[in-house]
Amino acid sequence: MRRAPCHPRPLRFLAVALAALAVSGCQQMFTTSLASWATRPNPPVPKTLSQDQATMYAQEVVDNRDTAKAQALLPAMAALVAGNPGDEAALAAAAMTAGVATGIDEALTSIDLGAADPFAGLAAALASIQVTAESTAIFTALADNSVDMATLAAAGATPGTFLVAAAAVILADVSATDLALLFDTDPGNDPFIDPGSASSVLAHDLLSTATSYWPSDPLLSQFGNLVP
pLDDT digits (tens, 9 = 90+) for 119-136: 666 777 788 889 999 999
User: Is pLDDT of 74 > 50?
Assistant: yes
CB of 164 within 8 A of CB of 101?
A: no
Alpha helices in the chain (DSSP H): 12-20, 26-29, 51-64, 67-83, 88-101, 104-108, 122-127, 133-143, 149-154, 159-171, 176-181, 198-213, 218-222
Q: Is 227 left (phi over 0), alpha (psi -120 to 50) or beta?
A: beta
The answer as to whether 72 is a domain residue is yes
Q: CA-CA distance, 171 to 76, in Å (whole number)? A: 24
The answer as to whether 8 is a domain residue is no
Cα separation of the two ends of the chain: 14
User: Is pLDDT of 147 > 70?
Assistant: yes
Confidence of residue 33 (pLDDT cuts 50, 70, 90): low
The answer as to whether 10 is a domain residue is no
Q: Which of 13-17, 22-26, 83-87, 122-126 has the highest mean pLDDT?
A: 83-87
Q: CA-CA distance, 125 to 110, in Å (whole number)? A: 7
CB of 38 within 8 A of CB of 59?
A: yes
According to DSSP, residue 50 is labeled -
- In the chain, the percentage of residues whose pLDDT exceeds 70 is 68
Question: pTM of the predicted model, to two decimals?
Answer: 0.82
Confidence of residue 27 (pLDDT cuts 50, 70, 90): low
pLDDT tens-place string over residues 55-69: 989 988 888 888 999
User: Is pLDDT of 9 > 80?
Assistant: no
Mean pLDDT of the chain: 79
User: Is pLDDT of 35 > 80?
Assistant: no
State the amino acid at position 69 in one-letter form.
K
The answer as to whether 174 is a domain residue is yes
CB of 120 within 8 A of CB of 89?
A: no
Residue 25: per-residue pLDDT: 47
pLDDT tens-place string over residues 168-224: 898 888 877 777 776 666 666 666 677 788 988 898 899 899 999 999 987 777 776
| Low-confidence winner among 15-19, 46-50, 113-117 (lowest mean pLDDT) | 15-19
The answer as to whether 153 is a domain residue is yes
The answer as to whether 47 is a domain residue is yes
Q: Which of 21, 23, 35, 155 is nearest to 88 (CA)?
A: 155
The answer as to whether 2 is a domain residue is no
Q: Which of 131, 128, 135, 55 is nearest to 93 (CA)?
A: 55
The answer as to whether 228 is a domain residue is no
CB of 169 within 8 A of CB of 112?
A: no
State the amino acid at position 8 in one-letter form.
P
Q: CA-CA distance, 141 to 137, in Å (whole number)? A: 6
Number of domains forming the structure of the chain: 1
Compute the 3-state secondary structure of the chain and give helix, strand, coil in percent, each to the nearest 5: 60, 0, 40
Long-range contacts of residues 173-181, Cβ cutoff 8 Å, at least 24 apart: 173/131, 173/197, 173/199, 173/200, 174/11, 174/126, 176/123, 176/124, 176/127, 178/11, 179/123, 179/126, 179/127, 180/123, 181/11
Q: Which domain holds residue 123?
A: 16-222
CB of 137 within 8 A of CB of 149?
A: no
